């Protein structure tokens, strides 16, 4: 089962095809500020230098997608064929962390979306793409249209729960989760509720509910991996680091190539000051922007001589997104500005803009970290109030708030 990039553990799950969670990252060690050359373009030393990897034609999933593409070409008016291909593109894009596949899925759905009354399944697929791109308002509109056509669509309710959790609307998310459970999917409903409680000061209950689901589907590795990932997140909320790592390892043993699990575990390792393990974990995942950022952070922690290449390439990836009018990775941009460009003021601006869109635990953390680094403690007032109101449990966030509470609150530090 799957999460959108960087959604802080919120659920996005195909009912039959599983994907995994995206976890919050912990503060990273900050090396000495780099020289200005780190912002200059990087020139490869030779034509043999690999800048990015792409999926091989021999990849089994790539072959499946080609077969589905051929099937749709033979029957372009077949809704099942279009839905299967669009979902395959979405799933693979999530698995490897490549946003291009969302565009491929969008192209498949375009003729159906152009109809005066698109089928509910197409509206839900489109909503998942929009949610992936953090276009949450547009995604909500599509889900409302889908549910108006088919109120029993559990996938639509689950995707809506995802968006509400990411944006911190926990009351609405609770209603959405109850609808998931009431639409013939009690296991997914329990998982939805269990995940939600980890954000509401009820992480122990979350652990109990999710624990009941662990291993309940002996033939569905993706489902079991998803549950293990949620348990890892919940253990992080509780500060139980050994158990969190155990769940990450179990999840990755089930779905070793899942980008979101890899990124979550990489964040965990960076927090434990184990950057060498991050390089090993992600060495074959450089095509993913989120994974590449963690590789760069690991290189920074190790003071690696090839760090300039990683910093420039990460910056180029963000610039390419901006040129396309995309802003998928607000949290990652904050982290890049703060820990690799050593620009806390820019990081704080980015974090405050990101907070207007997303309010998951990771969004809280990057704003608190940026406010501290920029010596702007009052810029974190709204975030701190949100944490207190929702009773979020998280030892890293609690420590950051404690640090901010100890800062002088002069008017110069007011939120901008």
pLDDT value for 412: 44
Share of the chain above pLDDT 70, in %: 83
Cα–Cα distance, 366 to 355 (Å, whole number): 10
Q: Looking at the predicted structure, is the pLDDT value of residue 12 above 50?
A: no
pLDDT at 70: 95
Return the higher-pLDDT residue of 332 and 183.
Answer: 332
Residue 51's pLDDT band, with cuts at 50, 70 and 90, is low
Highest mean pLDDT, choosing among 101-105, 268-272, 325-329? 268-272
d(CA 49, CA 35): 24
408 or 284, which is more confident = 284
Checking if the pLDDT of 358 tops 90, the result is: yes
* pLDDT number for residue 50: 63
For range 2-23, the mean pLDDT: 40
User: Is residue 16 predicted with pLDDT exceeding 60?
Assistant: no
Supply φ then ψ for residue 214, to 5 degrees: -60, 125
Q: How would residue 49 be classed by pLDDT, with cut points 50, 70 and 90?
A: low
Confidence of residue 7 (pLDDT cuts 50, 70, 90): very low
For residue 340, pLDDT over 60 is answered with yes
Please state which of the ranges 260-264, 327-331, 408-412 shows the lowest mean pLDDT. Answer: 408-412
CA distance 226 to 365: 23
Q: In degrees, to the nearest 5, what angle opens at C-alpha 16 toward C-alphas 98 and 72?
A: 65
With cut-offs at 50, 70 and 90, classify the pLDDT of residue 322: confident
Distance CA 60, CA 376 (A): 50
Instruction: Please tell me which residue, 30 or 203, carries the higher pLDDT value.
Output: 203
pLDDT at 416 over 70: no
Whole-number pLDDT of residue 383:
98
Reference 194, options 242, 248, 230, 245; nearest CA is 230
Quick one: pLDDT at residue 173? 97
Looking at per-residue pLDDT, the higher value among 326 and 163 belongs to 163
pLDDT at 8 over 80: no
What is each CA distance from 187 to 202, 310, 325, in whole angstroms?
Answer: 19, 42, 38
**Of 268, 199, 208, 205, nearest to 237 (Cα)?**
199
**Residue spans of beta strands (DSSP E) within 63-125:** none
What the block records as the tokens of 227 is: 């549950």
Reported confidence tier of residue 34, pLDDT bands at 50, 70, 90: very low
In whole angstroms, what is the distance from residue 129 CA to residue 93 CA? 10
Instruction: Render pLDDT for 306-319 as a digit per residue (tens, 0 to 9).
Output: 999 999 999 998 88
Given pLDDT bands bounded at 50, 70 and 90, which one contains residue 1? very low
303: exposed, middle or buried (C-beta count within 10 Å: 0-12, 13-18, 19+)? Answer: exposed
Task: Convert the pLDDT of each residue in 235-268 to its tens digit.
Answer: 999 999 999 999 999 999 999 989 999 999 999 9
**Helices 241-254 and 221-238: angle between axes, nearest 10 degrees:** 170
290-280-33 Cα angle (round to 5): 60
**pLDDT band (50, 70, 90) for residue 327:** low
Of 285, 283, 196, 222, the closest CA to residue 8 belongs to 196
Residue-level pLDDT at 27:
43
Say what the pLDDT of residue 196 is. Answer: 97
| Of residues 365, 360, 367, 363, the one with CA closest to residue 344 | 367
User: Which residues on neighbouring strands pair with residue 12, listed in sequence order?
Assistant: 2
Looking at every residue in the chain, the average pLDDT score rounds to 86
Q: Let me know the angle formed at the C-alpha of 272 by 231 and 371, rounded to the nearest 5 degrees.
A: 90
For tokens 């565009």, what's the residue? 103
Residue 35: pLDDT over 50? no
User: Chain-centre distance of CA 256, in angstroms?
Assistant: 17
Which residue, chain included where needed, has tokens 């060690």?
29
The residue with greater pLDDT, 409 or 158, is 158
User: Average pLDDT in the 323-332 region?
Assistant: 78
User: How buried is 178 (Cβ within 10 angstroms: 0-12 exposed, 13-18 middle, 19+ buried)?
Assistant: middle
pTM of the model: 0.83
Backbone angles phi, psi at 284, to 5 degrees: -105, 20
Mean pLDDT of 85-100: 88
pLDDT higher than threshold 70 for residue 4: no
Q: How far is CA 157 from CA 166, 228, 408, in A?
A: 14, 22, 45
Looking at residue 97, its pLDDT comes to 79
Cβ neighbourhood burial of 245 (10 Å; 0-12, 13-18, 19+)? middle
Nearest-angstrom CA–CA distance, 236 and 259:
19
Output the pLDDT for position 329: 83
- In the chain, pLDDT over 90 holds for what percent of residues? 70
Q: CA 253 → CA 52, 60, 118, 319, 322, distances in Å?
A: 25, 19, 39, 34, 35
Confidence bin at 25 (pLDDT 50/70/90): very low
- DSSP state, residue 183: T
Domain 1-41+55-256 CATH assignment equals 1.25.40.10: yes
């Amino acid at each position: 089962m799957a999460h959108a990039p960087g959604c802080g553990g919120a659920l996005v799950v195909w009912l039959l095809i599983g994907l995994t969670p995206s976890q919050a990252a912990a503060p990273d060690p900050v090396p000495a500020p780099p020289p200005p050359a780190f912002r200059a373009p990087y020139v490869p030393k030779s034509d043999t230098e690999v800048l990015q990897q792409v999926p091989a034609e021999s990849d089994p999933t790539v072959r499946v997608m080609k077969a589905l593409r051929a099937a749709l070409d033979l029957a372009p008016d077949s809704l099942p064929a279009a839905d299967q291909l669009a979902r395959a593109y979405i799933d693979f894009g999530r698995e490897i962390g490549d946003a291009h596949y969302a565009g491929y899925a969008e192209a498949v759905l375009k003729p159906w979306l152009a109809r005066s009354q698109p089928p509910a399944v197409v509206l839900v697929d489109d909503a998942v793409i929009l949610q992936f791109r953090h276009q949450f308002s547009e995604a909500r509109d599509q889900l409302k249209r889908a549910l108006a056509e088919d109120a029993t669509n559990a996938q639509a309710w689950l995707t809506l729960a995802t968006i509400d959790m990411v944006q911190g609307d926990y009351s609405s998310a609770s209603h959405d989760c109850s609808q998931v459970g009431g639409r013939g999917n009690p296991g997914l409903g329990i998982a939805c509720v269990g995940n939600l409680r980890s954000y509401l000061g009820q992480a122990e209950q979350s652990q109990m509910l999710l624990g009941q689901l662990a291993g309940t589907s002996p033939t569905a590795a993706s489902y079991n991996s998803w549950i293990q990932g949620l348990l890892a997140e919940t253990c992080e909320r509780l500060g139980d680091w050994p158990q969190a790592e155990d769940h990450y390892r179990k999840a990755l043993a089930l779905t070793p190539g899942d980008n979101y699990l890899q990124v979550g575990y990489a964040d965990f390792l960076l927090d434990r000051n184990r950057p060498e393990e991050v390089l090993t974990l992600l060495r074959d995942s450089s095509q993913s922007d989120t994974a590449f950022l963690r590789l760069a952070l690991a290189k920074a922690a190790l003071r690696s001589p090839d760090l300039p290449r990683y910093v420039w390439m990460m910056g180029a990836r963000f610039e390419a997104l901006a040129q396309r009018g995309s802003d998928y990775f607000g949290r990652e941009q904050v982290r890049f500005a703060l820990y690799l460009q050593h620009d806390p003021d820019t990081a704080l601006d980015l974090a405050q803009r990101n907070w207007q869109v997303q309010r998951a635990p990771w969004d809280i953390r990057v704003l608190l970290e940026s406010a501290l680094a920029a010596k702007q403690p009052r810029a974190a007032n709204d975030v701190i109030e949100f944490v207190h109101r929702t009773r979020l449990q998280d030892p890293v966030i609690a420590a950051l708030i404690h640090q901010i509470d100890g800062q002088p609150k002069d008017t110069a530090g007011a939120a901008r």
